A = this chain, B = another copy of it.
Amino acid sequence: MEKEKKIEATCEQELAAIRDSLEILGGKWKLRIMRHLKNHYSDNNTFKKIQREVEGISAKMLSKELQDLETNLLVTRTVRDTRPITVSYAITEYGLSVFPITESLVDWGLNHRQKIK
Protein backbone atom coordinates (compact mmCIF):
# COMPACT_ATOMS: atom_id res chain seq x y z
CA MET A 1 0.00 0.00 0.00
CA GLU A 2 1.02 3.56 -0.65
CA LYS A 3 1.83 5.90 2.17
CA GLU A 4 -1.22 7.94 3.15
CA LYS A 5 -0.95 11.66 3.45
CA LYS A 6 -3.81 13.44 5.17
CA ILE A 7 -5.49 15.81 2.75
CA GLU A 8 -6.77 19.15 4.03
CA ALA A 9 -10.20 20.27 2.84
CA THR A 10 -12.90 22.83 3.39
CA CYS A 11 -16.27 21.83 4.79
CA GLU A 12 -17.73 21.85 1.28
CA GLN A 13 -14.94 19.69 -0.05
CA GLU A 14 -15.53 17.27 2.78
CA LEU A 15 -19.22 17.09 1.91
CA ALA A 16 -18.28 16.45 -1.72
CA ALA A 17 -15.90 13.71 -0.58
CA ILE A 18 -18.68 12.02 1.38
CA ARG A 19 -20.94 12.21 -1.67
CA ASP A 20 -18.21 10.69 -3.83
CA SER A 21 -17.55 7.85 -1.42
CA LEU A 22 -21.20 6.96 -1.02
CA GLU A 23 -21.77 7.17 -4.75
CA ILE A 24 -18.87 4.85 -5.55
CA LEU A 25 -19.31 2.39 -2.68
CA GLY A 26 -22.97 2.74 -1.76
CA GLY A 27 -25.92 0.75 -3.01
CA LYS A 28 -26.86 -2.83 -2.45
CA TRP A 29 -23.98 -4.72 -4.02
CA LYS A 30 -20.68 -2.84 -4.32
CA LEU A 31 -19.30 -3.52 -0.85
CA ARG A 32 -20.59 -7.09 -0.93
CA ILE A 33 -18.63 -7.73 -4.11
CA MET A 34 -15.53 -6.06 -2.71
CA ARG A 35 -15.70 -8.13 0.47
CA HIS A 36 -16.19 -11.30 -1.53
CA LEU A 37 -13.18 -10.55 -3.73
CA LYS A 38 -11.09 -9.81 -0.66
CA ASN A 39 -12.16 -12.97 1.19
CA HIS A 40 -11.53 -15.13 -1.89
CA TYR A 41 -8.42 -13.34 -3.01
CA SER A 42 -6.47 -16.46 -3.97
CA ASP A 43 -9.37 -17.96 -5.93
CA ASN A 44 -9.94 -17.61 -9.63
CA ASN A 45 -12.98 -15.36 -9.38
CA THR A 46 -14.81 -15.79 -12.65
CA PHE A 47 -18.03 -13.98 -13.44
CA LYS A 48 -20.18 -17.06 -12.89
CA LYS A 49 -18.40 -18.02 -9.69
CA ILE A 50 -18.98 -14.58 -8.22
CA GLN A 51 -22.59 -14.68 -9.33
CA ARG A 52 -23.09 -18.04 -7.60
CA GLU A 53 -21.41 -16.95 -4.39
CA VAL A 54 -22.71 -13.41 -3.94
CA GLU A 55 -26.21 -14.47 -3.03
CA GLY A 56 -29.09 -13.00 -4.96
CA ILE A 57 -27.21 -10.89 -7.47
CA SER A 58 -28.34 -10.96 -11.10
CA ALA A 59 -26.03 -11.02 -14.12
CA LYS A 60 -27.11 -7.53 -15.05
CA MET A 61 -26.28 -6.02 -11.68
CA LEU A 62 -23.04 -7.95 -11.34
CA SER A 63 -21.93 -6.81 -14.78
CA LYS A 64 -22.76 -3.18 -14.05
CA GLU A 65 -21.22 -3.12 -10.60
CA LEU A 66 -18.00 -4.75 -11.76
CA GLN A 67 -17.70 -2.21 -14.55
CA ASP A 68 -18.18 0.63 -12.07
CA LEU A 69 -15.61 -0.83 -9.70
CA GLU A 70 -13.15 -1.31 -12.55
CA THR A 71 -13.65 2.29 -13.69
CA ASN A 72 -12.71 3.39 -10.20
CA LEU A 73 -9.58 1.21 -10.21
CA LEU A 74 -10.88 -0.95 -7.38
CA VAL A 75 -10.95 -4.25 -9.30
CA THR A 76 -9.22 -5.66 -12.36
CA ARG A 77 -10.81 -7.62 -15.17
CA THR A 78 -8.71 -10.27 -16.89
CA VAL A 79 -9.83 -12.28 -19.90
CA ARG A 80 -8.29 -15.76 -19.88
CA ASP A 81 -7.88 -17.65 -23.14
CA THR A 82 -9.38 -20.90 -21.88
CA ARG A 83 -12.13 -22.81 -23.65
CA PRO A 84 -14.69 -21.50 -23.12
CA ILE A 85 -13.15 -18.11 -22.44
CA THR A 86 -13.34 -17.10 -18.79
CA VAL A 87 -12.97 -13.72 -17.19
CA SER A 88 -11.36 -13.24 -13.81
CA TYR A 89 -11.95 -10.38 -11.44
CA ALA A 90 -9.62 -9.43 -8.64
CA ILE A 91 -9.46 -6.67 -6.10
CA THR A 92 -6.59 -4.23 -6.65
CA GLU A 93 -4.14 -3.14 -4.00
CA TYR A 94 -5.82 0.25 -4.16
CA GLY A 95 -9.16 -1.51 -3.72
CA LEU A 96 -8.02 -2.63 -0.29
CA SER A 97 -8.19 1.02 0.76
CA VAL A 98 -11.97 0.79 1.10
CA PHE A 99 -11.80 -1.59 4.04
CA PRO A 100 -11.28 1.03 6.72
CA ILE A 101 -14.70 2.28 5.64
CA THR A 102 -16.33 -1.13 5.72
CA GLU A 103 -14.81 -1.80 9.13
CA SER A 104 -16.25 1.40 10.53
CA LEU A 105 -19.63 0.50 9.01
CA VAL A 106 -19.49 -3.00 10.50
CA ASP A 107 -18.43 -1.79 13.94
CA TRP A 108 -21.06 0.92 14.07
CA GLY A 109 -23.83 -1.32 12.72
CA LEU A 110 -23.11 -4.11 15.20
CA ASN A 111 -22.92 -1.68 18.10
CA HIS A 112 -26.09 0.09 16.99
CA ARG A 113 -28.07 -3.14 16.87
CA GLN A 114 -27.19 -3.74 20.52
CA LYS A 115 -27.97 -0.14 21.42
CA ILE A 116 -31.42 -0.22 19.85
CA LYS A 117 -32.57 -3.63 21.04
Contacts and interface: CB of A to CB of B under 8 A. Distances in A.
Contact of A97 (B16, B26, B108): B108
Contact of A26 (B6, B7, B16, B26): B26
Those 9 A-B pairs whose CB atoms lie nearest each other, nearest first: A17-B109, A21-B109, A20-B109, A21-B105, A7-B110, A101-B104, A17-B110, A17-B106, A18-B105
Q: Oligomeric state, in number of copies?
A: 2
Contact of A73 (B25, B107, B109, B115): B115
A50 to B, nearest CB: 15
A15 interface: yes
Interface of A: 4, 6-7, 9, 11, 13-22, 24-26, 31-32, 35, 39, 72-73, 94, 97-98, 100-102, 104-116
21 contacts: A4-B107, A4-B111, A7-B107, A7-B110, A7-B111, A7-B114, A9-B110, A13-B110, A14-B110, A18-B102, A19-B109, A20-B109, A20-B112, A21-B105, A21-B112, A22-B105, A97-B111, A98-B108, A100-B107, A101-B104, A101-B108
